[in-house]
Amino acid sequence: MNNKLNTSALKYTVLPLKQQCLEPFVKRISYIENETIKPQSHLLPPLDTIGFTFFFGDQMRTEHKQETVLLHKRACIAGIITKEDVSIVHQGVVKQIFVKFTPTGFYRLFKKEGKEFTNKPPADLSTINAQALEMELENCPKEIENIQEVIENYLLSKIPTALPEIPLINMVIELMQEDITGRRNVEDICEKVGVNQRYLFRLFKKVIGISPKKYYKTLQWNTIMTIINENEEESLTRIALECGFYDHPSFTKEFKKFMGISPSKFINNDIQLAELALKRNS
């Protein structure tokens, strides 16, 4: 793969959970650092769950269709983004702790419906009554270990009042992951688990924030991005056929619709974003 140089220095590290009892709620905590000389814009990669982020360093902003939103708060909730062409812009040194929740983790801990955060600017912590966490993060030493400890201790304090597990969602997601390239559809899954499609739609929108179909599509495209990244010597046409598409043009059209850029641009022009997207969604 052609790894072109650019003006940023991106670092990504997965931080092992210190509190193992958080595993049913938190999929991953990661540290991301990026240093740029000039302003850089990156398309936001698709995420399949809600996340919590804490920035420290220079300011960041999001852009969508020429509308700019400054991230005034350093701690915020990042909902699922299904809109195209949403970018994050940064300059200087940006450091970020990112908590990726499990599909049901955020809803169970905070009792807030996922659809409240979908396709919206990052939300203030007051939306989950976590102003105390925000204050503690602002006052603690700006070191990775200290920030992670503050976040984990706060999440740990929420477990005693957390909602119970939601087995139906876990079961459906397991079936989706068994056929990640998309030959199984949501209708088949509903029939297999014996649930009404309308009910499953409402449950996914409430808990996760998007419909089962969109969630499944996100899982599929994240897998396709991994296939592209791991099979750099293969042609996109062959990858497209292996993933169930009729030809290269139909694959390119759908990829661009989902990611906002073509597969070739994803590979050649923004390789650091590609790697980050794959790591964050694996």
Identify the CATH number of the domain in which residue 20 sits. Answer: 2.60.120.10
**26: Cβ–Cβ under 8 A, 6 or more apart, which residues?**
17, 99, 100, 101, 102, 105, 155
Average of per-residue pLDDT values in the chain? 80
The answer to whether residues 75 and 250 touch, using CB atoms and an 8 Å cutoff, is: no
Q: How far is CA 67 from CA 85, 87, 88, 273, in A?
A: 11, 10, 12, 22
Within this chain, do residues 197 and 127 fall inside the same structural domain, yes or no? Answer: no
The answer to whether residues 61 and 70 touch, using CB atoms and an 8 Å cutoff, is: yes
Count up the domains in the chain and report the number. 2
Within this chain, do residues 19 and 83 fall inside the same structural domain, yes or no? Answer: yes
The model carries a pTM of 0.81
The answer to whether residue 175 is domain-embedded is yes
Q: How far is CA 100 from CA 9, 43, 51, 97, 216, in A?
A: 23, 18, 5, 10, 18
The answer to whether residue 1 is domain-embedded is no
Determine the Cα–Cα distance for residues 31 and 154; give it in Å rounded to an integer: 18
The answer to whether residue 2 is domain-embedded is no
Determine the Cα–Cα distance for residues 46 and 227; give it in Å rounded to an integer: 16
Within this chain, do residues 136 and 40 fall inside the same structural domain, yes or no? Answer: yes
Whole domain around residue 195: which residue ranges?
167-281
Residues 103-157 have pLDDT tens digits of: 999 999 999 999 999 988 788 899 999 999 999 999 999 899 999 999 999 999 9
Within this chain, do residues 42 and 139 fall inside the same structural domain, yes or no? Answer: yes
Average pLDDT of span 247-262: 75
What is the helix (H) or strand (E) element at residue 160, kind and residue range?
none
